[in-house]
Chain A
Amino acid sequence: MNGYNFAYLDEQTKRMIRRALLKAVAIPGHQVPFGSREMPLPYGWGTGGIQVTASILGRADVLKVIDQGADDTTNAVSIRRFFARTAGVATTTRTAEASVIQTRHRIPEVPLREDQIIVYQVPQPEPLSKLEPSRAETRRMHALAEYGLMHVKLYEDIARVGAVTISYDYPVMVNGRHLMSPSPIPAFDTPKMDGMAALQLFGAGREKRIYAIPPYTAVRPLDFEDHPFRLTRAPHACALCGAGDSYLDEVVTDDRGGRMFVCSDTDFCAARQPAGAA
């Protein structure tokens, strides 16, 4: 596109972001500050993810963008079109064909490979933010690995409701050292992060933080010995493809209580349906 640098951001900014990314990869789960730029979309729509994607994108890359599992919702369509225009890269909706995947709220059902990179959009990178209001103090807690407070939150959940009630953005321990927010993916997806073959990058635009999980890094959800982390999933099969192990969306179909459960990962679901059915 005329008048714009490749992938919108100027090269100096990309270099700054790549330096932050290298540091982030070197210290898995550690939040690295970076000079977040104004992007042509509002905060909360993926300004952090889009800057990370812009900095790692090459001309040969194939980009996939996920919004809540889907490839065809506003956020996914506009970000995909943004990079198609400003970088001229190929785009796809197929997980297996993509080399860079920017995502909001989901990890694809199909396991990712070593030659793929997944970029998460992060609204709040600080997992302790709701428990400790001072950022100076949370940084100190990270530095000294003092994470007892997070367990107080889990304790409260079990004491009040009998189980941990965190259903998304479930706090994880990365590489046995840093407590990390996995971004608002469902708790169902957190086990996929553990030992993932693909490089995982996280960008928080408003909060100006970048962090990363290198391939094959241990990622453990926090839990108690006698209340281990367990997966929660709607007890249904997908109404479209019949999958019994995927993460499901509940779709209201009429105003008389009608509803159906379908795969949240649209690409996964479409690939499982017989040709022509969708």
Chain B
Amino acid sequence: MSSDARSSRSPDALLSARGLRLSYGRIAALDGVDAEVFPGEVLAVVGESGSGKTTLLQALSGAISPDAGTVWYRGRDGSVQDVHRMPAPALRALHRSDWGTVHQDPRQSLRMAVSAGGNVGERLMAQGVQHYGGIRAAAIDWLREVEIAADRVDDLPRTFSGGMLQRLQIARTLVTQPRLVFMDEPTGGLDVSVQARLLDLIRGLVARLGVAAVLVTHDIAVARLLAGRIVVMRAGRVVETGLTDQVLDDPQHPYTQLLVSSVLHA
């Protein structure tokens, strides 16, 4: 099975998953899911609550092990590694350097008792950078990059608004120039105008840095704005996949048609 799956893996994919299966008791959260992320592209995973989107993201990033199936990651040196067979130190090192994660709730990944600069600098320090001036300069650069004023560098995150916290989390993730970012509902819980600004920012950064991203969202509009390709999930299965515009403008599967038609137009 594994040699079979290996042969069907795309050679240029950054991350590719084959036959992912995972059940929570009798519920199949992932029921034979294939997915691929190519360098520099944003892949959106859409679907309703409980469709297995977040489980897929966690399986792709190595946070949970699937019951069956494989996830391969192609490193900077071109070598291909099985994410779930990697030794724990290697996986953690990957999460510190080449990979990044943006949670829906920035408080989950930010250290609320540490200043904005310390939060952004943490990943650099985790990589062994030990030059205070360099870390601070990088932190200020990245705060500017996400439109946070440089004089807020020593302020605690608790003095930041929700949108600023989310932008701080993005700065903290991108400071090590990752190749792949996992985003779980990055605009969830923000009001519409803040959402629009954040989406604009993410779109600009992702395009300029050429970073690939897996974006989980229930919001079709977010997927349309950010993603080049889209995967539609329902009950642990991929029901439709393709170019975002193609899938959203001409949905083939009845569920996708339902999803697209249920979006409200202002």
The answer to whether A binds B is yes
Interface set of A (CB-CB < 8 Å, partner B): 144, 146, 148-149, 151-152, 155-156, 158-160, 223-227
Residues of B within 8 A of A149 (CB): 122, 125-126
Taking a contact as CB atoms closer than 8 A, the residue among A152, A223, A226 that contacts B121 in the complex is A152
B117's contact among A146, A148, A155, A224, by CB below 8 Å, is which?
A155
Contact across chains for B92 and A224 when beta carbons are under 8 A apart: no
Which chain A residue has the least Cβ–Cβ distance from B128?
A: A148
B88 / chain A contacts, CB cutoff of 8 Å: 144
Contact A155 B125 (CB under 8 A): yes
| Interface set, chain B 11-61, CB cutoff 8 A to A | none
Closest A residue to B88 by beta carbon equals: A144
Residue in contact with A151 in the complex, picked from B115, B125, B154, CB distance below 8 Å: B125
Which of B92, B117, B123, B126 is A159 in contact with, Cβ under 8 Å? B117
Q: Contacts A144-B89, A152-B125, A159-B136 given; indicate if A224 touches B130 (C-beta within 8 A).
A: yes
- Tell me the dominant secondary structure on chain A's binding face: helix
Highest count of chain B CB atoms <10 Å: which of A146, A152, A225: A152
Whether, in the assembled complex, B254 has its beta carbon less than 8 Å from a beta carbon of chain A, the answer is: no
Question: What's the least CB distance linking B154 to chain A, in Å?
Answer: 5
Q: Which A residues are in CB contact (< 8 Å) with B78?
A: none
- The residues in B between 136 and 167 inclusive whose CB is less than 8 angstroms from any CB of A are 136, 153-154
Closest to A150 in B: B125
Q: Are A224 and B115 in contact (CB under 8 A)?
A: no
What separation, in Å, do the CA atoms of A160 and B249 have in the docked complex? Answer: 53
Q: Across the interface, do A224 and B122 meet the contact criterion of CB distance under 8 Å?
A: no
Q: How far is the CB of B7 from chain A (nearest CB, A)?
A: 34
* A148 to B114 Cα, complex, angstroms: 13
Please tell me if B74 contacts chain A, counting CB pairs below 8 Å.
no
Contacts of A152 in B (CB 8 A): 111, 114, 118, 121-122, 125
Please list the residues of chain B having a beta carbon within 8 angstroms of any beta carbon in chain A.
88-89, 92, 111, 114-115, 117-118, 121-123, 125-128, 130-133, 135-136, 153-154
- Residue ID in chain A nearest B154 by CB atoms: A159
Contact status B133-A146, CB under 8 Å: no
Residues of A within 8 A of B118 (CB): 152, 155-156, 159
Is the CB–CB distance between A160 and B89 below 8 Å? Answer: no
Contacts of B128 in A (CB 8 A): 148
Decide: B125 and A148 in contact? CB cutoff 8 A: yes
Q: Once the chains are docked, how many angstroms separate the CA of A159 from the CA of B117?
A: 8
Tell me whether B126 and A148 are in contact (CB under 8 A): yes
B89 contact set on A, CB distance < 8 A: 144
- A155–B132 touching, CB < 8 Å: yes
Known: A144-B92, A148-B127, A160-B154. A155 touches B133 (CB 8 A): no
Name the A residues within 8 Å of B123 (CB-CB).
148
Q: Complex formed: what's the CA distance from A146 to B130 in Å?
A: 14
Q: A146-B126, A159-B118 are in contact. Are A226 and B132 (CB under 8 A)?
A: yes
A160 engages B125 (CB within 8 Å): no
A83→B121 CA distance, assembly (Å): 50
Cβ 8 A contact of A226, one of B117, B131, B154: B131
8 contacting pairs across A/B (C-beta < 8 A): A148-B122, A148-B125, A151-B130, A152-B122, A155-B132, A158-B132, A159-B117, A159-B136
Q: Is the CB of B114 within 8 A of A227?
A: no
Given contacts A155-B117, A159-B153, A160-B115, 5 further A-B contacts (CB under 8 A): A144-B89, A144-B92, A149-B125, A160-B154, A226-B132
| B152 CB to nearest chain A CB (Å) | 12
With both beta carbons as reference points, the residue of chain A lying nearest to B89 in the complex is identified as: A144
Most buried by B among A144, A156, A223: A156
Shortest Cβ distance from B136 into A: residue: A159
What's the nearest-Cβ distance from chain B to residue A146, in Å? 7
Q: How far is the CA of A224 from the CA of B128 in the complex (A)?
A: 11
**Of residues B123, B127, B128, which shows the largest number of chain A Cβ atoms within 10 Å of its Cβ?**
B128
